Structure 1
Amino acid sequence: MTQIIGALSEIAADYDALFCDLWGCLHNGKAAYPAAVAALQGFRAQGGRVCLMTNAPRPNKYVVQQLDRMGVPRDCWDLVVSSGDAAQEAMFAGAVGRKVWHIGTDKDAGFFTDVPPEFADAPAIERVGLDEAEGIVASGPFYEDSETPEHYRAQFLLARERGLPMLCANPDIVVDLGETRIYCAGALAEFYESIGGKAFYFGKPHPPIYDRARRLMELGEDARILAVGDGIATDVKGAAQEGIDALFVTGGLAADAFGTDVEAPVLEALLAWLRVHQMEPRYAIGRLR
């Protein structure tokens, strides 16, 4: 049965490394959570290692720049691994062709312009219109604050008929930007599949992002890893599939389901909700602290 804890320090000694989500755990898209920062600093001070693992559809250097702007100190993490890193490798390897229709905003341009060194001599990836495309790369809606997947029905039907595969650079369905909930690329890919299209995923809960984190952190098979996150279908499901423990942050995306105090989830409500989702993380906490 899932155990509610009051602080990461209660269980920190049982783990060598954390795979910690960002949005909803360490920050809300606009500002960092001071208690979460302190918790990660404390874990590292005791010899633990922290990988910030995010489904952001950008190479990790852009994620680091965002963290710097929000004032997240660099002494609370060792490594940043993004969905964009894993998906970018696949794109430059030609997973959806060399001519792609990109769905996303200008902030994701680095996904295409920052060519990984190992692909420096590979044929270029060209962004083109849907009518010329060999595949689709989705990093999010064109207009995050107003569009839903349904806005893309006509274009997706055409893409499906042409047999275009979609590379989903961010498997998240939604995130909360401050107080505003916005759709992510995962929602677009899910909708595309629902009408018969084919999509490939590279962030949580899918293996490539975990494989990359283990490789870069040089974690052995016996490393004790704890996944921390507020996404039941990404963070918790991914941990279960990887055979590692999960600390579910209830005060994130699903906060309204567990009572009126985001810092103190109601156990009965939590267990009932987890049964519906058929997940049983080892631990839960209101907010990371």
Structure 2
Amino acid sequence: MTQLIASLDEISAPYDVLFCDLWGCLHNGKALFPEAVAALQAFRRKGGAVVLLTNAPRTRHAVKRRLDQMGLPEDAYDVIAASGDATQVAMLQGAAGRKLWHLGPGKDEDLFTMIPDWLRDQPAIERVPLEEAEGILCTGPFDEFTETPEDYRVRFLMAKTRGLKMLNANPDLVVDFGDRRIYCSGALAQLYEEMGGEVLSFGKPHPPIYDFARAQLAAIGVSVENDAILAIGDGVRTDIRGAEAEGIDAVFVTGGLEAARFGADPAHPDPALLQDWLTAESLRPRYAMGRLR
């Protein structure tokens, strides 16, 4: 049975590393959650390492810039591992060809410009219109505030007919931007796959992002076994099932994407509603909490 906890400090002692999600756990897209920041700082003061493990469809450098703008203190984490990083490796290695249609907003263009040194010898990726493309790099809708996956059905039919492979840079279906829920790359990839298109995904719950996170830790001299890692996240499809597949313990933050299921107070989920829903979904996270704190 999942243990409902009030704070990270209650159960953090056996763990050396946190894999902490961003949206819904550390911030809401607009503002940081102060108690969550304090929890990560406290974990690090005790000697632990924190990986900010995000399905953001851009590189860790762009993620850091945004977190800096939001005011996240650097003593709250050690490294960042983004779905965009793992996707970029596959893209530069030609997983979908060299001529790509980029489906996504301009803020994700760092995937084409911020190239790691060890991949600079790869042939260049050319961004082209869909009609000329060998593959698709999907980072989200062009306009995430107004568009839905259905807006792309006609273009996806053309792409599927031509056999174009899609690289999905963010397996999340939706995120909450402040009080507004918006579609992510994962929702577009889901539609493309339902239509018969081929999709490769690189963020949680898929292995590439976890491999990238461990490589980032190794780069700062941290080597850790799975039983010493604790994943924290509010996405059951991504954070919780990803942790389960990797063999690591998880804290399900109930006050994020699924908050409406567990009572009127997102910070204090109803234990009975929570356990019934977890059972119905065949989910068994080791811990759950309303908000990261």
Tell me if TM exceeds 0.5: yes
Structure 2 letter corresponding to 1:51:
V
Closer, same or farther: CA 222–160 of 1 in aligned 2, 3 Å: closer
Unpaired segments of 5 or more residues in structure 1? none
1:53 is paired with a residue whose SS is: strand
- Residue 39 of structure 2 corresponds to 39
- Residue 181 of structure 2 corresponds to 181
Deviation, structure 1 residue 222: 5.6
2:57 is paired with a residue whose SS is: coil
Deviation, structure 1 residue 119: 1.9
- Residue 228 of structure 1 corresponds to 232
Is the 1:231–1:253 Cα contact (8 Å) retained in structure 2?
yes
Deviation, structure 1 residue 272: 1.6
Deviation, structure 1 residue 221: 3.1
2:100 is paired with a residue whose SS is: strand
Structure 1 letter corresponding to 2:189:
A
- Residue 254 of structure 2 corresponds to 250
Task: Find the aligned partners of 1:84 and 1:248 in 2 and give their Cα distance.
Answer: 23
Q: Does 1:151 align with 2:160?
A: no
- Residue 263 of structure 1 corresponds to 267
Residue identity (%): 59
Unpaired segments of 5 or more residues in structure 2? none
Structure 2 letter corresponding to 1:224:
A
Structure 2 letter corresponding to 1:199:
V
- Residue 128 of structure 1 corresponds to 128
Task: Find the aligned partners of 2:216 and 2:108 in 1 and give their Cα distance.
Answer: 23
Is the 1:16–1:49 Cα contact (8 Å) retained in structure 2?
yes
- Residue 213 of structure 1 corresponds to 213
* Structure 2 counterparts to residues 100-139 of structure 1, below 5 A: 100-139=100-139
Deviation, structure 1 residue 122: 1.5
Q: Deviations over 1:245-278 (max 9, x none)?
A: 0000000001000000111101111112112322
2:288 aligned residue (273, 276, 284): 284
1:238 aligned residue (229, 242, 247): 242
- Residue 19 of structure 1 corresponds to 19
1:273 aligned residue (274, 277, 291): 277
Task: Find the aligned partners of 2:77 and 2:286 in 1 and give their Cα distance.
Answer: 23
- For normalisation by structure 2, the TM-score amounts to 0.97
Is the 2:227–2:248 Cα contact (8 Å) retained in structure 1?
no
Task: Find the aligned partners of 2:100 and 2:226 in 1 and give their Cα distance.
Answer: 40
